[in-house]
């Protein structure tokens, strides 16, 4: 996880009606010295670094799995929402993945929100095998969280500066 910061929400891109908007939104909490957390939000129009884009795309199979979608139509992850709940003696981390799925007979995509799943059961009698997040999902989420905080700290896509010189023509004398 990001030092003393915990990801609450990461959202990339505008609404389906306005795909040109690529605003990035991050909500996270940072631990204070007294053990409580302050909540921060961060919005930016800079394009994310390719590593962050790749980390978000890696969440698509988990959105498919958690929504029990097994066809080949394209699924695009737009956001993740993380929860952190302190229980007696342990902490439970949860996740909701949201995105879009293309449809065959419609010009607009279907909005998807996965069910809230946790890393460990809230109760001892809860079946942990199918109801909780997989280790692969948790690993991919850790990579995404690391890349989100790198974005907040300034790791962005390289901007083209237009400083390249045009190729020189070779004149034989």
pLDDT, the chain, mean: 86
Task: Look up tokens 């394209």; give the residue.
Answer: 74
**Choice between 35 and 154, residue whose per-residue pLDDT is larger:** 154
Per-residue pLDDT at 100: 95
* CA gap 129, 148 in Å, rounded: 29
pLDDT in tens, 81-106: 999 998 888 889 999 999 999 998 99
The predicted structure's pLDDT at residue 6: 95
67 token code pair: 């929504």
155 pLDDT band, cuts 50/70/90, is very high
Dihedral of the CA atoms 42, 158, 81, 35 (nearest 10)?
A: -50
Domain residue spans of the chain: 5-152
Residue 63: which pLDDT band, with cuts at 50, 70 and 90?
very high
């Amino acid at each position: 996880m990001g030092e003393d910061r915990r990801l609450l929400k990461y959202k990339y891109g505008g609404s389906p009606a306005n795909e040109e908007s690529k605003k990035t939104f991050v909500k996270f909490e940072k631990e204070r010295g007294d053990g409580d957390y302050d909540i921060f939000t961060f919005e930016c129009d800079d394009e994310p670094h390719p590593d962050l884009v790749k980390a978000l795309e890696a969440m698509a199979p988990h959105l498919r799995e958690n929504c029990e979608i097994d066809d080949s139509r394209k699924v695009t992850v737009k956001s993740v929402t993380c929860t952190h709940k302190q229980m007696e003696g342990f902490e439970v981390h949860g996740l909701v993945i949201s995105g879009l799925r293309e449809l065959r007979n419609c010009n607009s995509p279907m909005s998807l929100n996965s069910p809230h799943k946790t890393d460990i059961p809230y109760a001892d009698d809860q079946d942990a095998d199918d109801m909780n997040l997989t280790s692969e999902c948790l690993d991919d989420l850790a990579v995404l969280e690391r890349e989100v905080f790198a974005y907040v700290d300034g790791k962005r896509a390289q901007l083209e500066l237009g400083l390249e010189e045009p190729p020189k023509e070779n004149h034989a004398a």
